[in-house]
A = this chain, B = another copy of it.
Amino acid sequence: MVLAESAASARPTGDEPRSRILMAAGKEFAERGFEAATVREICLAAGVNVAAVNYYFGDKQRLYIESVKHAHQARVRQVPLPEWPQGTAPARKLHDYVATMLERMLGLGQSPWQMRLMMREVLQPTAACRELAQDYMRPQFAVLVGILGELSAGRLSEAELRRVAISVIGQCFFYRAAGGVVGMLVPSEEIEVLHTPQELADHVTRYALAALGAAPPLGTATPAHARPRVKR
């Protein structure tokens, strides 16, 4: 009946049962959803006994909540927002912000199962999501609203800024969430070449800048050096 995180009972490395279960559970929950994921599969993948889940987390539900929080924190730490020196152009900040968001979601390197898990949560919020929104998403959202405020130079109200921010996030979100369907709507060769995190970040940023009047409209011939594309 010893619940997790009890005492300072030596928890040095990262490959102990508890961590291994969290990792395996995150992947399983992300792939199959809460109900379809089975404790047996998770424990098999983690290389522990079936009883370990109940031993370390109490029950499946609490394992799930811990997995969601663990996954989000891990992903944010993997792909953090850059720190901008004072005076950085807001257009640059916006591009960085969007690129970071897309990088987190679409992820180079390892497939970001963490984000698939988050998608499920966002789609159908549980207690885990409410906690996450308050602690982590809200401040990140405020950063974006701040950048957009700089860009609009006071011409937009806070409410309007929030709407634009949601538009920006919505696009990033969509590429991740509905990637499968997008792949059915556009030619596959276009996907490979245009639907990379970098290309999409350029597009979303440009789209927002143009809408705010901070860049010429799409389709206007602009020399490459004037584009808001910033090397990272």
Contacts and interface: CB of A to CB of B under 8 A. Distances in A.
Interface of A: 32-36, 119-120, 122-125, 129-130, 133-134, 137-138, 141, 152, 155-156, 159-160, 162-164, 166-167, 169-171, 173-175, 177-178, 180-182, 184-186, 190, 194, 203-204, 207-208, 210-214, 216-220
Main secondary structure of the interface of A (DSSP, over half): helix
Nearest to A125: B180
A201 to B, nearest CB: 12
Contacts of A171: 166-167, 170-171, 174
A155 B220 CA distance: 7
Contact of A173 (B32, B163, B177): B177
Contacts of A184: 125, 130, 133-134, 137-138
A170 B174 contact: yes
B177 A122 contact: yes
B167 A207 contact: yes
Given A210-B211, A218-B211, A129 B167 contact: no
Given A33-B33, A210-B210, A137 B185 contact: yes
Nearest to A34: B36
Contact of A170 (B35, B133, B173, B217): B173
A218 B212 contact: yes
